[in-house]
Structure 1
Amino acid sequence: MSEALQGPFGLFFSALISSTLLPGGSEVLLAWLVTEATHSVWLLWISATAGNVLGSLLTWGMGYWIAGRYPLRSLENPRHRRAQRWLERYGPFGLLLAWLPIIGDPICLVAGWLRIGFVASLVMITLGKSLRYAVVIGLAG
């Protein structure tokens, strides 16, 4: 495997893909890179967090774009309705759980659809995802 794909650059793209509506395994790659000890743990943490946050913001942006074309009442997917109830109850703080598998992507999509502010979304998503990757690093190290 190419060195670029094994390092922080590859980790960034793995994390980006993992946080959109596509499945991925950035946690496994991060843990492996930590155990290999060829890169700074801080650089790996920043790469994983940045890629994952960017992917979530792209999903948030899709929701924001969709809101202009389809009214929120048209949500049919049960996961999206659950995310809507969650976000209506907790507001941007609900985005702290954007790192969760299965429900994290719908939370980000619905947050954009609800037009939850970009800065608040960015802060909450970043906080939740950076803590998740810190735990992965702690368990791998």
Structure 2
Amino acid sequence: MERLTLHDQLSAAAMARHWVCDHCPEQHLPAARRWIAELLTSELVVNALAHGRGPVVLSLTHDEEGILVGISDSDERVPTLRAQSPGATAGRGIALVDALATTWGVYGSDGSRTDADTGGWPRPQESGGKTVWFHLATG
């Protein structure tokens, strides 16, 4: 498992996108699907930095079935999928994750989860917060 700690700075989303691309071998996720991984990572990192405090930890693991990306932050509030008006200028991050990821979910620091079991990974920091994760299948 690879990890990257990001701090609240303007370049954090770009750094996250490049890091995911660099750590995702093409045999585990074809180039045609990499842009989806970069987009979803960017959306979740921006959300985590906007709503949490302190650094965000980005985690990635991959195998022949695809990649699993987790974004851990200090905010214990669980993101929810909401309907958006056509004129809304924000709030589409989770809708994009829901539409484009193979599956996704949230692990709370209290052990709660809002998703299918991923074998215990990724988990948030013990000090609180949550991990929002998504899985992208290879094809």
TM-score (norm 2): 0.30
Q: Looking at CA atoms only, which structure, 1 or 2, has the larger radius of gyration?
A: 1
TM-score (norm 1): 0.30
Higher helix share: 1
Higher strand share: 2
